Amino acid sequence: MADHPILLLLAGVGIMLTLIAVHVPVGVAMAVSGLVLFGALTDTGAAIATVSVEIVSALSSADLVTIPLFLLMGSLAARAGISGDIYRIASSWVGHRRGGLAMATVVGCAGFGALCGSSVATAATMGRVALPEMLRRGYAPGLATGSIASGGTLGILIPPSIVMVIYAVLTEQFVLDLFMAGILPGLLATALYCGAVVVFTRLHPEAGPAFEPASWADRLRAVAGAWRAVVVIVVVVIGLYAGITTVVEAASMGVGLTLFFFLGRQPRAHWWRELTSVAVETAQSTGMIFLMVVGAALFSYFLTMTEAPKALVAQVRAAELGAYTVLAIVLLMYLFLGAVFDTIAAMILTTPFVYPLIIGFGFDPIWWGIMMVMMIEIGMITPPIGMNVFVMGGVARDIPLKTIFRGIMPFLYADFVRLGLLIAFPGIALYLLKK
């Protein structure tokens, strides 16, 4: 069977999916399937020896250390009320327009995504901030929840992004290159989402009523009140892209600032309880991510031994499928995976064999990283299982899921426009790397 790498690949994937189906954690399923088959091809001792090597490698990775830092920064920023600051400044400037609060929500999600790096956390946090205000102002429940669920997906595209960090580690790309490549697609996504709100509210004016504009004094107060968000974004984002700080340094400074703002907002009696909650959340999420990264690394030993990725590329080339045909098939696969799997799990599960296939057809690895993130992002709002929709269902328990799914449709159309633009003009993602 060692002479049939594709069969070995199918066997490994089959074992892994069977374990996942019986509720074994994804990281454990990848590790077990990889170790069992690697041990069968070599010997058990060699397979077991790889475990400690990969655990040490993950724990000592300078890139992966940013994950708990960004998670911690996002949790502290949410509890410090910084997400509300971002939303208020956006709503004071555009909230009076027809659909303006929905556009402010999208902009607020983009701003908070720059601090958080997680789509689910962005949707949940902004849902608590923006949804009550939109419903109070008479917005249609579908538009209100749809703008939050869709805007929340920007959390993994607007840098810094946890998913991009993991992709960089798995594919040995430079993290900052991925962050740079995500800026213009992230801004494009924000603009297209706002455009979707404009079109939808023009067709359905009652869904997002207009109001009297805020006074200049109110706008300036909102800007002044958002100074904490401005400080954190300037220190983290500007410091990072100006080359003043490394990714780890920028994340560490972000944690320090959000911790300071958190302590300034919380009553002293609540400090310990809230900090304990933040620490537990961060530890749980970090543990899950590191387990999946280690599991993927152990599974890759088996793939390397079989040379299955190389054989897969050869088989696809032999089928004489065009590069863009293969790209379309893979993108559809990610659309499905994004709707069914956790974002990080979907990427880690598939990267070991999809990445060599895509790169083998001559596509740029940085561009592909952005495309893959975008497809998983779209999957998070795609019926029938979009994860962000169910997050919104938990926040807005009185609004039926079918209403939320209807609400995300204008944004889903905007996503497919963005996807087409990135395929037709890959320079949108790569432009800033040439500067």
In whole angstroms, give the CA distance from residue 76 to residue 261. 8
**17: pLDDT strictly greater than 60:** yes
| Count of beta carbons in the 10 Å neighbourhood of residue 435 | 5
Range among 60-69, 159-168, 201-210 with highest mean pLDDT value: 201-210
In whole angstroms, give the CA distance from residue 425 to residue 421. 6
The arithmetic mean of pLDDT across residues 130-152, rounded, is 90
Contacts of 152 (CB under 8 A, 6+ apart): 109, 113, 119, 120, 122, 123, 124, 126, 127, 380, 388, 391
The arithmetic mean of pLDDT across residues 299-307, rounded, is 78
**201: pLDDT strictly greater than 90:** yes
CB distance 31 to 295 below 8 Å: yes
The arithmetic mean of pLDDT across residues 99-128, rounded, is 83
The arithmetic mean of pLDDT across residues 309-314, rounded, is 70
Range among 169-183, 225-239, 317-331 with highest mean pLDDT value: 169-183
Identify the band that residue 208 occupies on the pLDDT scale cut at 50, 70 and 90: confident
Instruction: Give the H/E segment covering residue 39.
Output: helix 26-41
For 83, half-sphere exposure in the C-beta direction (CA atoms, 13 angstrom radius) is 29
Q: What is the pLDDT of residue 188?
A: 95
**264: pLDDT strictly greater than 90:** no
Number of domains in the chain: 1
**99: pLDDT strictly greater than 80:** yes
Name the more confident of 315 and 2. Answer: 315
Indicate the average pLDDT of the chain.
84
Q: What is the pLDDT of residue 86?
A: 79
Residue tagged 């500007």 (tokens): 238
Range among 137-146, 160-169, 316-325, 326-335 with highest mean pLDDT value: 137-146
The arithmetic mean of pLDDT across residues 262-272, rounded, is 77
Q: What is the pLDDT of residue 435?
A: 59
Q: What is the pLDDT of residue 58?
A: 83
Identify the band that residue 309 occupies on the pLDDT scale cut at 50, 70 and 90: low
The arithmetic mean of pLDDT across residues 382-390, rounded, is 78
Lowest mean pLDDT among 137-141, 189-193, 290-294, 300-304: 300-304
Cis check for the bond before 160: say yes or no (omega within 30 of 0).
yes
Q: What is the pLDDT of residue 1?
A: 46
**101: pLDDT strictly greater than 50:** yes
Number of residues in the chain? 435
The arithmetic mean of pLDDT across residues 280-288, rounded, is 86
- Closest listed residue to residue 165, CA positions, set 106, 260, 250: 250
**393: pLDDT strictly greater than 60:** yes
The arithmetic mean of pLDDT across residues 319-324, rounded, is 81
Rounded to whole angstroms, the maximal C-alpha distance in the chain is 74
- Closest listed residue to residue 166, CA positions, set 426, 13, 352: 352
**304: pLDDT strictly greater than 50:** yes
Residue-range definition of the domain harbouring residue 176 = 5-434
Q: What is the pLDDT of residue 197?
A: 95
In whole angstroms, give the CA distance from residue 351 to residue 27. 14
